[in-house]
Amino acid sequence: MNTTHRVIDVLWKQSIIGLEKFVALAVVGGVVVYALNSLFVMVSMDWTLTMTYYELINRALAIIIGLELVRMLISHSIAAVLELLAFVIARKMLKPDLQSLDIMAGVLAFVALMAARHFFTESGFLERDRQDKKVA
């Protein structure tokens, strides 16, 4: 590969990273606006109703999902992707009008996420390494 191609490759990668940071900054801005708006909405709601609690949890998880998305865009780690998916599934599972198939699908999705975390992240590798040392 000649130097021109290397320079183009480096510039391309740098521009992609810059765009990802710009998108992450835009998402942070959106999360802040959403959080402030949610604060005003939640203050005006009737706290004697159960639906208000569900609304609070839904909004809190939406904010967390936004922040996890930013972390994923910045860190590029499989652990960040898995944690983002876990929050998305948790938000779906906490809706009050779930049917039994939705609950079963959510539980299976969490099991799949835990298996993926165990097999594909560094903490899973460290866990297996410790177990191998105990056996040896």
pLDDT digits (tens, 9 = 90+) for 56-82: 999 999 999 999 999 998 988 888 888
Check if the beta carbon of residue 67 is closer than 8 Å to that of residue 31: yes
Residues in the chain: 136
Domain boundaries, the chain: 3-135
pLDDT digits (tens, 9 = 90+) for 18-46: 999 999 999 999 999 999 999 999 999 99
Q: Which residues contact 35 (CB under 8 A, 6 or more apart)?
A: 63
> How far is the C-alpha of 129 from the C-alpha of 136, rounded, in Å?
11
Res 48 pLDDT > 70: yes
